Homo-oligomer: A and B are copies of this chain.
Amino acid sequence: MAENEKLMFASDYMEGAHPEILRRLAETNMCKSVGYGFDEYTASAKEKIRRACGAPEADVFFLAGGTQTNATVIDALLRSWQGVIAAETGHIAVHEAGAIEFGGHKVLTLPSRNGKLTAGEIEAFARSWQQDENRDHTVMPGVVYLSQPTEYGTLYSLEELRAIRGVCSGFGLALYVDGARLAYALACPENDVTLRDLAELCDVFYIGGTKCGALFGEAVVIPRHGLIPHFFTVIKQHGALLAKGRIAGIQFETLFTDGLYSEIGHSAIVAADRIREALTEKGYRQAFRSPTNQIFLLLEKEQAAALSGKVEMGFWENTEDGHTVMRIATSWATSAEDVDRLIEIL
């Protein structure tokens, strides 16, 4: 990068793929295989994911992107008269252009704190639906959608997740976790939710590839085999079936070989922690505490403008009291040099 170029910290999907993935794609490139995910690379990737999740019976499917995965899974989990509970800040509620509604389902939003829902709020909502005399004129909640980490970089603790699972079981709700940035949660020192925990607690969750080192791809894990009948056809119907399924398979096989997925998460968290430390030292304020690979700076407008000239960050929002929140995201590709330069600029 030339000296006069801007530093890029706007998102965690600004590069291609982790070099090891490219290497493996090149290595296997001319081997012939059948399509639609019935190849041996995909089989191996599924097996490695089952093992990492301690879920030997799990159904695993690879889709191309997050919105597609959310729309397909949620549509498959819901019956026509049901809707999905989500935080009002949840990705499916805001930034998926109505993909859930396109599939015919309502997103039932609850207020959130820094991207998170609580077991108590979900329970109150489910109970209030149950006790509503007019409930048969309304949309029945059928699925709870969470993100781990959330869109605000925050984490559910194991205790919180268990409590939510308890509510779900009590009210017949399926629990679905969006893990678009799961690597960055798993690698976070204060995280206590493992892949095995997710496999134990969720009806479905996905392990994000696109934002965690792959060219593209998300791995849908359904721990209980057969929970979703005809899911292959549902995926096809949603336009989400990859003809060359192996391309996703090879990527996830690579991510789950020799700890690469952990390593990817780890390096991003190390970079983010260094930045957070520098921010604290230099007296910057953060909009809220986020321990993963996203940092939300609370800046004066002039400060924001000045910084933006030198660092490409993500615009998050303008607060009511006149501040600007900007997002810094690190990834597997963030170099120590870029972190050094960023700290210097700060």
Q: Which residues of A contact B (CB under 8 A)?
A: 8, 10-11, 13-17, 19, 22, 25-26, 28-35, 64-72, 75-76, 79-81, 83, 94-99, 101-107, 133-134, 136-140, 210-211, 215-216, 229-230, 232-234, 236-244, 246-247, 315, 333
Contacts and interface: CB of A to CB of B under 8 A. Distances in A.
Contact of A81 (B233, B241, B246, B333): B233
A66 B210 CA distance: 20
B67 A241 contact: yes
Given A106-B101, A244-B210, A234 B136 contact: no
The A interface is mostly helix, strand or loop, or mixed, namely loop
Contact of A243 (B216, B238, B247): B216
A239 B68 contact: yes
Given A97-B237, A98-B237, A99-B239, A14 B34 contact: yes
18 contacts: A16-B28, A16-B247, A65-B242, A69-B239, A71-B239, A75-B80, A79-B230, A80-B237, A97-B137, A98-B104, A98-B106, A99-B237, A101-B101, A102-B104, A136-B232, A136-B236, A140-B230, A211-B243
Contacts of A233: 81, 97, 136-137, 140
A290 B183 CA distance: 49
Contacts of A136: 97, 230, 232-233, 236
A102 B69 CA distance: 16
Output the residue of A11, A66, A70, A237 with the most chain B CB within 10 A: A237
A97 B71 contact: no
Contact of A238 (B239, B241, B242): B239
